[in-house]
């Protein structure tokens, strides 16, 4: 779940590095409405799912922003799962669109 974002929005935890909290099944009893809204603003460009859907989402982000690069992060508690997430993200990257000079 999105528990890893709470230190970014809780005033007493902001700027204090530490280990990621363990995942939970539900955030409903943990975060306040304000914290939920802050986390939703921070994750509105997230790409989550199967490789094909992530590829489409990344292509949409690139098209919407006009960016020529992406910086990916993965706040995943389990290190091996985090590495696997980056491997999958690399597979999901859309093909670059090149403009040829004339």
pLDDT, one tens digit per residue, over 3-57 is 555 555 555 555 666 677 788 899 899 889 998 998 888 888 889 899 999 999 9
At residue 98, does pLDDT exceed 70?
Answer: no
Please check whether residue 64 is in contact with residue 58, taking contact to mean a CB–CB distance below 8 angstroms.
Answer: no
pLDDT at position 44 is: 85
């Amino acid at each position: 779940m999105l528990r890893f974002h709470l230190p970014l929005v809780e005033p007493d935890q902001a700027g204090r590095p530490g280990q990621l909290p363990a995942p939970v099944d539900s955030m409903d009893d943990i975060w306040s409405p304000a914290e939920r809204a802050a986390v939703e603003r921070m994750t509105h460009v997230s790409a989550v799912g199967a490789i094909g859907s992530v590829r489409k989402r990344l292509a949409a982000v690139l098209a919407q922003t006009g960016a020529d690069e992406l910086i990916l992060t993965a706040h995943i508690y389990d290190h091996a799962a985090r590495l696997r997430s980056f491997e999958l993200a690399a597979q999901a990257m859309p093909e670059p669109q090149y403009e040829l000079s004339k």
